[in-house]
Chains A and B, each alone.
Chain A
Amino acid sequence: MQAEEEKNETAAEPRLLHHGRWSGYRNLLWARMLELAREPEVIFWVFAFPLLLAIGLGIAFRQAPVGKTPVAISAAPGAAHLAQLLKQQPLIPFQVLPAGAALDQFRLGRYDLVLEPQPGGGVLYRFDPSRPESVLARRRVDDALQAAAGRRDVVTTRSRPYRQPGARYIDFLIPGLLGMNLMNSGMWGVGFALVEMRQRKLLKRLIATPMHRSHFLLALGSSRLLLMVVEIVLLLGVGIWIFGMRVEGSWWTILLLGAIGSASFGALGLLTACRAQKIESVSGLLNVVMMPMWVFSGVFFSYQRFPRAVWPLIRLLPLTAINDALRAVILQGAALDAQLGRLLVLAGWGVVSFALALHWFRWK
């Protein structure tokens, strides 16, 4: 019967395509992915930038075993004797320099310590108590000099190296970068994209069709989820392959955290963009919303460096919640149910933002 109807139609009018309820959603998602893939800036900011940051910071702050501690000896009577004693220490290379030059070079970081021979055979250490290498150099030189002068150790001690991969700076950094990336791309990917479409009157054109508005938002959100998977795999992959990082927790838990995080930040982006008419104004707004989290949420350094009194507030920020949860899962292998509090914080931000955004949202 239907075939007959079709035939009648083709006689009068060219053939028509029939679309199901979800075809709009599928096509919106596909179009969004095509647009993203064809946007070189997106590729850079979403994928290349965090990787470069991870590699750069990872190399800059790599924690190799502490090596030599170079020191300078001020030229003065007694310097030759000190040089004689240090010659036997392979880890303490030294240089005899005029007093002024020695201090200058120390200040520039070439030497970790300056030894000033004192009349009567003593030594004055010039060191910087805020520089760990300097403190270490002072201990090493002092031990060497005292031992050479005949000091005896009274307790028998032994040492054995023990290094934990999960405790390096890069291990701390990568989950933080992951969290930051989820925030950046979630908020920009939703907020900026929406305002751009509104400014172009494209949103208005879309709602002039029978498109389901929910499908539009859903497609925007799902495109974020797909990107999120790629982001996580790339960043953790670099951590594993380049820095020998170990992922202790389950990948499914990590992906689930990523999904909840993306959704929450996407909702926050939606809220930020719900009224803005110009991309300039939404850019400013997005930065204002994200700035405190870049600083406080423990991306590059632990928020425990801030006064203890503000920790509870910092923990209420969504980026703190996702960073803490990611670190617990990736570095300590925590299970999802142990992260319930943090998930609640994240989901709370997401749900409240989404509800407000829907209430205030303007398509035109």
Chain B
Amino acid sequence: MDAVSNPSAGPGVEKSAGARAAIRCRGLRKTYDGKLEAVRGLDLEVREGECFGLLGPNGAGKTTTIEMLEGLLEPSGGEMEVLGQNWAGQGRQLREQLGISLQETRLSEKLTVRETLRLFASFYAEARPPEEVLAEMELGDKADARVGKLSGGQRQRLAVATALAGNPRLLFLDEPTTGLDPQSRRQLWEVVRRFTRGGGTVLLTTHYMDEAERLCDRLAIVDRGKIIAQGAPAELIRNLGGDHVIEVMTDPPTPGLAEICRRLPGAQAVWPAAEGCQVQVSQLETSLPELLRQLQAQGAGLARLSTRSTSLEDVFVQLTGRQLRDE
């Protein structure tokens, strides 16, 4: 159980005591054209002040889910509630409090960055000064450049900037870091963290494991329109049973390597890897010496030996039997 920390409420926003849900949905489903089931019964609860991630491979239904929650796509079934309201009612009033960045938007190329941001800000009764948002997204030196002249990463950052323009309470970011270089990516993480520190809530989608692991307070792993695991990253990894992964490769290849690994003390799971083996263990200090002893007994030379902490990638592979990336 992770305690919900919600120390500072957003400015001017009265929050009721305890962890209110910023987003809640039950049995959410979407069927395209009456046959393609993109989302098949999703239950989610995003708490106020947290960063929640939807993690999943291409086509998992992340965009479909987030767009239904944004009120841009009509669900085929289920219930949802955003900031305590549902989309049937006062949509405009709700939108004043949301910041949205779609997976793919091509903003007007003839406008400058500053003009674009000013335009988006003008739709909100209360908005942040464009200069300030530009500075935060490190687009200050591009303020007077036409959008058509920006690089892909800069456009991506501008898209996030337009989401921040209206001083939202709840931020929806659909793959905000796809196409960003590592530095811009980390800088965007910083923006997200600052936003949640200020009391804001974030729902983002990603297919980067490391991003989900480091940035999100909690996340849901989505596969084929369903949530296959949900919780804090550390919790998900812990539930997998092993904290460490040993990767080993011998020279020449040892035929019974997988079997040796499986019989190691504390071994949780074994995946044959390229010409070697990966084994997940709970305690390195007992498993590793035993592995080395076994290999020595076999007279096999080590080609490679490495250990790492269990990652979300391992969780995904464990749950689906597939790599996250190759789809």
Q: Residues of A at under 8 Å CB distance from B?
A: 9, 12-19, 23-24, 26-28, 31, 34-35, 38-39, 200-202, 204-212, 364
Contact = CB atoms under 8 A, between A and B. Distances in A.
B123 A16 contact: no
A201 B11 contact: no
Contacts of A209: 95, 100, 120, 123-124, 166
Contacts, number: 98
Contacts of A200: 105-107
Interface in B111-148: 111, 115, 118-129, 132, 146
Contact of A205 (B93, B102, B121, B124): B102
B96 A210 contact: yes
Interface of B: 11-12, 70-72, 92-93, 95-96, 98, 100, 102, 104-108, 110-111, 115, 118-129, 132, 146, 162, 166-167, 198
A24 B95 CA distance: 14
Contacts of A9: 11-12
A19 B11 contact: no
23 contacts: A9-B12, A13-B198, A14-B129, A15-B129, A17-B128, A18-B125, A18-B126, A19-B121, A19-B124, A26-B122, A27-B119, A31-B119, A35-B108, A201-B104, A201-B105, A202-B107, A204-B72, A204-B105, A206-B123, A208-B95, A208-B98, A210-B92, A210-B125
B126 A17 contact: yes
A209 B96 CA distance: 7
B132 A14 contact: yes
Nearest to B116: A31
Nearest to B12: A9
Given A204-B102, A204-B105, A210-B96, A19 B127 contact: yes
A211 B100 contact: no
B107 A207 contact: no
Closest 10 CB pairs of A and B: A27-B122, A200-B106, A210-B95, A211-B123, A13-B11, A208-B100, A209-B123, A38-B110, A205-B105, A35-B110
A211 B166 CA distance: 11
A202 B108 contact: yes
Contacts of A34: 110-111, 115
B90 to A, nearest CB: 10
Contacts of A24: 122-123
A81 B210 CA distance: 107
A16 B126 CA distance: 6
Nearest to A20: B125
A261 B166 CA distance: 37
A200 to B, nearest CB: 4
Given A200-B106, A204-B72, A19 B122 contact: yes
A23 B126 CA distance: 11
B100 to A, nearest CB: 4
A13 B167 CA distance: 10
A364 B32 CA distance: 15
Given A202-B105, A364-B72, A19 B128 contact: no
Nearest to A21: B125
B204 to A, nearest CB: 15
Contacts of B126: 16-19
A207 B128 contact: no
A28 B111 CA distance: 12
Contacts of B102: 201, 204-205, 208
Of B96, B115, B124, B162, most buried by chain A (CB within 10 Å of CB) is B124
A209 B128 CA distance: 14
A24 B127 CA distance: 12
Of A15, A31, A209, most buried by chain B (CB within 10 Å of CB) is A209
Nearest to A206: B123
B91 to A, nearest CB: 8
Of A17, A39, A202, A364, most buried by chain B (CB within 10 Å of CB) is A17
A36 to B, nearest CB: 9
A257 to B, nearest CB: 31
A16 B127 contact: yes
Contacts of A204: 72, 102, 105
Nearest to B118: A27
Contacts of A208: 70-72, 95, 98, 100, 102
Nearest to A31: B119
A307 to B, nearest CB: 47
A33 to B, nearest CB: 11
Given A19-B124, A205-B100, A212-B92, 9 more contacts: A12-B11, A17-B121, A19-B125, A27-B123, A34-B115, A200-B105, A202-B105, A208-B102, A209-B100
A31 B124 contact: no
Given A207-B72, A208-B95, A209-B120, A17 B127 contact: yes
A201 B108 CA distance: 11
B317 to A, nearest CB: 33
A240 B11 CA distance: 62
A199 to B, nearest CB: 9
A210 B124 contact: yes
Given A13-B198, A19-B124, A39 B11 contact: no
A212 B92 CA distance: 8
A13 B129 CA distance: 12
A3 B12 CA distance: 14
Contacts of A211: 123
Given A208-B72, A209-B123, A16 B108 contact: no
Contacts of A202: 105-108
Nearest to B172: A208
A207 B100 CA distance: 10
A11 to B, nearest CB: 9
Contacts of B11: 9, 12-13
A73 B323 CA distance: 95
A286 B107 CA distance: 24
B152 to A, nearest CB: 15
Given A17-B129, A27-B119, A34-B115, A39 B72 contact: no
A39 B146 CA distance: 13
